[in-house]
Amino acid sequence: MKIAFVIYDGITLLDFAGVFDPLTRLKTMGFLDTLQWDLCARTSAVRSTEGVVLTPDRVDKNLAEYDFVIVPGGDGIKGLMQDKAFLRWISVASDTTTVAALCGGSLLLGAAGMLRTKRATTHPALAVFLKNFACEVVPDRIVDEGNVITAGGVTAGIDLGLYLCGKIAGEEVREKIQQQMDYRNYTVR
């Protein structure tokens, strides 16, 4: 099981950290010892919206090699929505790869054409833009369309990460991780 966390200049740190924490606990809490993950970018260093420097593990790696590709949001999406090479890079949803986005990350999936036949969600303030790209935009916290999953804004990354833990390892494991995160309000709808 391999997970790629996509990072880029202008990512919101909490968008990434919220979905990263529960998923990495699958390994650090001993539920899935074979789990591997990489921070994947198209540049050798990344600076978050707030100025935090993150170092990618892999640059320009083929994302189709991963079971899950996670796309967080952040101000950097404004440029990336026009960046055809970036959009091609993340367009890897298939029978073997699930692409999951949250917040502005949903707009990247939309601009890449991945939501044309899908229901989707995003940050409430971005829903109006997502309507240009998705079959239907709904206000749910998480929308699971099989190999493409979208979630709400910023802190919805925590719910998305927990939801994926449930898909990967079952609800009992998801509950134990949620408890260890001291997270009281797991929300899917």
Q: Is 103 a catalytic residue?
A: yes
Q: If binding is defined by CB under 8 A, does position 77 make contact with a copy of itself?
A: no
What does each C-alpha distance from 159 to 6, 10, 23, 46 come to in angstroms? 18, 22, 11, 25
Instruction: Provide the 3-class DSSP secondary structure of residue 6.
Output: strand
The residue from 10, 76, 105, 153 that contacts a copy of itself (CB under 8 A) is: 153
Minimum distance of a copy of itself from residue 68's CB (angstroms): 16
d(CA 23, CA 182): 15
d(CA 189, CA 186): 10
* Ranges within 164-183 binding a copy of itself (CB under 8 A): 180-183
Q: Which stretch binds a copy of itself (CB under 8 A): 79-87, 106-114, 120-128, 166-174?
A: 120-128
- Site map 46..75 versus a copy of itself, x via CB under 8 A: ---xx-xxxx--------------------
Q: If binding is defined by CB under 8 A, does position 187 make contact with a copy of itself?
A: yes
d(CA 109, CA 184): 29
Torsion of CA 124, 47, 28, 20, to 10 degrees: 10
Amino acid identity, position 167: K
Interface positions with a copy of itself (CB under 8 A): 12-14, 16-18, 20-21, 24, 28, 39, 49-50, 52-55, 103, 123-125, 152-156, 158, 180-185, 187
**What are the catalytic residues?**
103
